[in-house]
Every structure is written in C-alpha cells, then in structure tokens.
Structure 1
Amino acid sequence: MLRTTAPFRCGEATGRPLDVYRDGDRLSVVAEGRVGLRLRLQGGTGPHLSIEEPVRPDPQDVLAGVTAAFETVSATHPEAGWIGLDPASFASLADPLMERGLAVREGDGLGVDPTMLWQRPEPWLANLAARDFPARPVMSGGKRHPQRPPKPKGVIYSRFTPWLGQAVAFRAATIDDVDTLHRWFNDPVVDAAWGEAGGRDKHEAYLAGLIADPHMIPLIGTIGGEAFGYFEIYWAKENRLAPFYDVQDYDRGWHVLIGESRFRGKAYISAWLPSLMHALFLDDPRTERIVGEPKADHVQQLRNLERSGFARIKTFDFPHKRAALVMLLRERFFGERLWSPGGGIPASPEAGSQPAP
C-alpha cells in the first residue's frame, strides 16, 4: 500500500474538522495538527478496523475520531457493505456507538453498516438544530403545510470526495452573489436551459425574491472552495409542482445550473449530485422523497437522473414546459449506497444544467 500524503478531511461543516492520514494499514486522525487517534485497517473479506492508540483520553474526542475513521473507510471502500470492528479495542465505545446508530452487533460481531452511518448528520450537516424543528400546520398561498424552519445561513453541508481530493459544499446564496449569478445566467449553455438571460437588475430581483420566499432556498455550490454552480431547493408541498402528484409534507425538490464550464463532466457530477441528495435527506429525517421536473425531452438529463436512482413517474404539462416527474426514495438512496460513484452516475458535457422552474 502507498502512503497517503493528502488527508481525508471530515466534519468541515461542523467547524471542527478532522484529517485522516493513511500510511499502509495505519490510519491517524489529526485535529489541529495533533494526532488524536491511531487505528489499523485490515482487509480480507472486507475492511476491518481496530484501535491502536487513543492518544486523547477524552471520550468525545475518541468518538469523533472513530467516526471520522468510519467515514474515511466507507468513502474509500464504497463497495463495502460492512466495516468490521475489533471487539476488544472497541469494547469501551461499543455502547455509545450503538446508541448513535454508528455501530451494530450481528451475532458475536461488531461493525459499521454504511447505510446507517451515512444517515447520521454530524460529519456533513452544519445546522443540526433545524432537523428537530417541530411540526406545526400552517397555511400559505392557500396551501396547508408544516411550518418550515428559519432559512439557513452560510455553509449548510460539506463533504470530502476522495476521487476529487476536494470537498463539495453548499452554502446559502446571498444578494452579494448577484454578479456571479448574472454571469452564469448569461452563459449561452445555461440560458438554453434556463432562459433567464438579461440585465443585472433582473437577476438581483430574481435572487432577492427567492431569498424572501420561505419555501425556496437558493444555494451556491463550491468544489475545493471555488463556486461552480447555482442550486434551488424547495419544499414541494408549497411549490407549483404539488398539484401534479400525491405530494407529502416533507418532499423536497431541486433545480441546478453549472455555471463554470470546467465543472461539467463525469468526476464533478458524480460528486455534486449525490452530495446534494445526501444534504436534502439529512436536512430533515422526515424527507422520504426528492422530486424533480426536468424537460420531458431532455434525454441525457433523464438518463443521468435514472442512473442516479431517480425513477421516472410520469410526464405532465407545466404551463411553460412538458415535464417529466422524477423521484428518488430515501430507502433507495441509502440502501443502494448512491452517495458513491459506484451507484452508477454517468456523465456527459451536457449533464450540467437542468431546466429552470
């Protein structure tokens, strides 16, 4: 095995990042430049971890360190449906890990089920308080729906992608992003799909309207800290899509444009698309379905979505386009481990833009 000089970074969205270095079969978890935990990673029938040196005795530090190790192993072994844990070295952590769903017992064995690990919000999601927002029915625009939590600010999600060696992150857009959005909307490739080309004043009003709309959240996507695309996520119950299917209270929908041409391609779509879906499922555990409504004749886009786990439900007519209703189920996303490129996400240069709402 080769020495990994670049670390796998975990937990950046939480403000307490940890770096995991690999040297042969040894993993070192580093916080603020200090090694906090050392583990051994073995192969065989599947990855297997044992703790060699818990340098920091604080239980919370050790727990954070092993969680970072779990993410690193799962992300770099996407085919693994089980990460074995050495019962002896993990004995003192077994109960707290199982209480959090980070480990489970099967017979005499202890291990990590990735389909459970990736449903834990802490490593990736910034605002954990919003996940516990209580249900309260309200009316708006003649529609009855749950009251939504306050709109997020700053980074909402960050995830390190080993095949890029960089983090994919999404942050709430602000009015200061108008110049970037103005440039992207006037890109001929984007305009062919969105049809929003125009002056800066138009785009400032467009973005301000979305920021003020409680059911829409405009986002800027970054890779390695560089802005590459614009995303709109929405609560489907309050959206104009709602009358066209049997909408549920916590369904989410999305639109996307990739503004920087060099980020249109296989490696990038396999990073931002599952990361956005992951963010939406983590944001509220009551969200069981993510929906989309691309143009019905956008063959490449539909093929990409179907290979990413979306099922094509039906074709219908919006006032401005003939659309296909597509849907991704939580059970399928996590059950088939679709956060990984191993989920079969394809790519093409034209895969970077989705029709505007």
Structure 2
Amino acid sequence: MPTLADGLPLPDGRRLVGRQGEATLELYLDGHPLLRLRRQGAGDDECLEPLALPADADAALDALAYWCFASDPARSRIRLRLAQPPAAARRRGLLLGEGADLRIERDLFWQLPGAFLRAPSGAGFPRHLVMDAQGRRHPVRPPKPEGEVYRRFDARLGAWVSLRCLDLDADLARFNRWQNSPRVAQFWQEEGDLAQHRRYLQTLHDDPRALTLLGCVDDEPFAYFEAYWAKEDRIAPFYPVDDYDRGIHMLVGEEHHRGPHKVAAWMGALCHYLFLDEPRTQRVVAEPRADNAKMIGHMQRQGFYREKEFDFPHKRAALMVLPRDTFFDRCALA
C-alpha cells in the first residue's frame, strides 16, 4: 500500500490530501476543503456519498478518483450515491451507471488524460493513409511533441516520474556516456564517440516514425527510450501490425535507478503515456534480445506477453506485446 501521509502532489503543483475516518472521507486541495463524503462498506463494495458537491463537481470527482486509486492500487471501482451526477463526468466516461448504481471504474479513469499528459494528444489528428518511400502504407503521423510530455507522482516510489523529449545539444553527452557503459553496450551495441551519437540521434529526430524520450525520477534523467510507429518499422513484417501500434526501445543509464521497483514505475509510465497519446493505439510492442531474460521478465510483470521469437539480421529477438485492454484492466498505477 502506498503511504500518502503527506498528500498526493498533482502535476499542476497543487497537493491533494485525504483524511479517512470510520464513516467519512475528507479531501483537501492545497489545504482547502474539497469534498466530504459519507462512507458505507469497504473495498470495492464501499459506497461514498458526498455531503455536498463544489461548483466544479466534475473536477472534484476526478480528484476523488485519483486519491482512491492511488491510495489503493488493488481497488477496481468507486461506488457513489449522488443526487445530481455532473453531466460532464458522464460525457467523458468518468462516471458510469444510473440512479443509485453510479460508479467510477479504475480502467476508465486511467484512460483519461487528466493532468498526466503534458503534451497535446494525437487523438484528434485525422486519419489519412500515405505510401512511404519503402512501399509501406500507413497513416500520416502528427507533429512530434516538444519538452515534457508526461508527469505523475508515483505513490509507491514516493517520487515524480516524468518523460521529456530528448534535447540533442543538452543530452548528447549523457546519451554518449550511457551507450558506452558495458552493461548497456551488451544489448544495444551502439558504442561510439560524440559525433557518431549526434548522427544517430539526429537521424531519429528527422524520422517521423520515431520519438526519443528521456525518463526522469524527480526530474533527474536516468533512462533513454525510443518510441516508434510499428507500421513503418522493421518489426512490421513479423506480426499482424495495426496502423497505430507503438514500439519501444529502452535503456536505464544511471546505475542508482536500477531495480524492479523502479522498472515498474518507469515502464508503467512509458506505456501509460503511449496509450494516452493516441487512443487508437491498441498495442505496445517490443523486440528485446531473446536471451535478455531480465528485461523480458520485467515486461511480463507489467502485462506484456511473449508472442514468439524471430530473427532480425543482428539478433534473435522475442516479440513482446502489451494489449491496451490488458494494460488498463490490470492497471496498477498508483
């Protein structure tokens, strides 16, 4: 269970605090009362009844859902009794049900961008198919984001987990150091000097199918990720690829940020970002080396399944697949 004695920091800088009694739950936002609810029952059978709703009832229910699901990663729903359910919460899928059977479902809450998604989503980008120079037919991709794209306080880690786009000039030396680490080089095989790595990153920057990201804990960069549209990638011939599947390459560069608890935090954040960024994305895929048992084990614990092994020119790979429904149905974000 997460410890939230000091409250739950929000991406916009405010802090949410909950105080639970035997029969009540009180929520405070930056020290000001937000919601007071009557509690009946426990766990998924608990029913909450607000004694009063603030003017922005939709935002208050968002805060309630975030507090409850972050406080208890095993909780799958929140049952509510509301005299006047806010229409906005119904329209966007936060609130389901009728009459006395109103509820907020965990898997639906985590699919709502909220404040976690920091960059504009590709959700509204129209679908238009084109043929590229390699003869691959795929949708036109939206412009790449810049700066920070995702931020969430991980209650189990007790730290911020964020993703930002790589800055070639600011991050080149860090990327070069990571790639020349013997541990990273064993699997990436991209050792080289600064000039070589500048060319490598510039090529990805200019490639519309690829997005280079840095993972950060409390704003300290510790990992490098490549997200790519699988339809335009070399992985496409090896499985029935969908137009909006995303693929990932991952490395942790800083030794003090290794460990299973950190992997759960950053891999969950990375996949969460990709699913939020484009709601039409139904799968995240990866192709680690088939003998990279440690990474494959980490991925399986996050919901990926090993579909098969196959041969790239440079390695024997395992095709790892994370379906959207699996990620949100088993969503353990906190």
TM over 0.5: yes
- Measured after TM superposition, the shift of residue 229 of structure 1 is 0.4
Kindly report which structure 2 residues correspond to 1:113-124, keeping only aligned pairs within 5 A, or say none. Answer: 113-124=105-116
2:249 equivalent to 1:255: yes
- From 159, 165, 172, give the equivalent of 2:158: 165
Cα separation, 2, equivalents of 1:299 and 1:291? 16
1:45 and 2:42 equivalent?
A: yes
Give the secondary structure class of the aligned counterpart of 1:320.
coil
Return the letter of the residue paired with 1:324.
A
**What is residue 326 of structure 1 aligned with on the other side?**
320
Give the alignment partner of residue 89 of structure 2, picking from 59, 72, 97: 97
Matched, 1:86 2:78: no
Give distance in 1, aligned partners of 2:41 and 2:146.
44
Q: What is the rounded CA distance, in whole Å, between the counterparts of 2:176 and 2:92 in structure 1?
A: 44
Q: CA deviation at 1:251?
A: 0.5
Q: Deviations over 1:60-94 (max 9, x none)?
A: xx422321221121122111121122324xx252x
Aligned residue in 2 for 1:144: 137
Deviations for 1:176-209, whole angstroms, at most 9, x for unmatched residues?
Answer: 2101111111222111221122211111111111
Identity of aligned residues (%): 37
Cα distance change of structure 1 residues 43 and 180 upon mapping to structure 2, 3 Å threshold: farther
State the match for 1:28 in structure 2.
27
- The one-letter code sitting in structure 2 at the alignment partner of 1:157 is Y
Inter-partner Cα distance in structure 1 for 2:48 and 2:223: 37
Aligned match of 1:19: 15
Counterpart position of 1:198? 192
Farther off after superposition, 245-254 or 63-72? 63-72
Q: 1:207 aligns with which of 196, 201, 206?
A: 201
Q: In the TM superposition, what is the alpha-carbon distance from 1:262 to its structure 2 partner?
A: 1.1
Query: Quick one: distance in 1 between partners of 2:123 and 2:183?
Result: 36
CA distance in structure 2 between the partners assigned to 1:45 and 1:328 by the alignment: 32
Letter in 2 for 1:259: G
Secondary structure of the residue aligned to 2:93 is: coil
Q: Residues 208 and 29 from structure 1, CA distance in 2 versus in 1: closer, same or farther, beyond 3 angstroms? A: farther
Provide closer, same or farther for how the CA distance between residues 326 and 49 of structure 1 changes in structure 2, counting only shifts above 3 A: same
Does the CA contact (< 8 Å) of 1:170 and 1:220 recur in 2? yes
When normalised by structure 2's length, the TM-score is: 0.90
2:71 corresponds to: 76
**What's the CA shift string for 1:226-247, capped at 9, x where partnerless?**
1110000000001111111111
Partner of 1:352: none
1:197-236, aligned counterparts within 5 Å?
Answer: 197-236=191-230
Corresponding position of 1:279: 273
Unaligned runs of 5+ in 2: none
- Secondary structure in 2 matching 1:130: coil
* Kept in 2: contact 1:29–1:65 (CA 8 A): no
Please tell me the residue identity of whatever aligns with 2:102.
L
Which stretch has the larger CA shift, 298-307 or 18-27?
18-27
Task: In structure 1, list runs of 5 or more residues that go unmatched.
Answer: 341-357
User: Per the alignment, in what secondary structure is the counterpart of residue 267 of structure 1?
Assistant: helix
Q: Distance in 1 between matches of 2:230 and 2:96?
A: 35
Q: CA deviation at 1:303?
A: 2.1
* Residue of 78, 100, 108 corresponding to 1:108: 100
How far does residue 310 in structure 1 lie from its aligned partner after superposition?
A: 1.1
**1:284-338 deviation digits (Å, cap 9, x = unpaired):** 1111111110111122222222222111111111010010111111111112224
**Aligned partners of 2:276, 2:121: CA distance in 1, in Å?**
12
**Residue 129 to residue 292, structure 1, CA distance change in 2 (3 Å):** closer
Would the alpha carbon gap of residues 18 and 99 (structure 1) be closer, same or farther in structure 2, given more than 3 Å must change?
A: farther
Is contact 2:38-2:51 (8 Å) kept?
A: no
Question: CA, structure 1 residues 41+339, in 2 after alignment: closer, same or farther (shift >3 Å)?
Answer: farther
- Aligned partner of 1:9 in structure 2 is 9
- Counterpart CA distance in 1 for 2:40 and 2:317 is 47
> RMSD of the alignment, in Å?
2.1
Task: Tell me the distance in 1 between the aligned counterparts of 2:13 and 2:287.
Answer: 36
Please give the secondary structure, in 1, of the residue aligned with 2:102: strand
Structure 2 SS opposite 1:229: strand
Name the structure 2 match of 1:66. 61
TM-score (norm 1): 0.85
> Which amino acid in 2 is paired with 1:229?
A
Distance in 1 (CA, whole Å) between partners of 2:7 and 2:200 is 40
Q: Is the 8 A contact 2:40 2:48 kept in 1?
A: no
Using the TM superposition, give the Cα deviation of residue 35 of structure 1 relative to its aligned residue in structure 2, in angstroms.
2.1
Q: Cα distance, 1:6 vs. partner? A: 2.1
Shift in Å at residue 252 of structure 1?
0.4
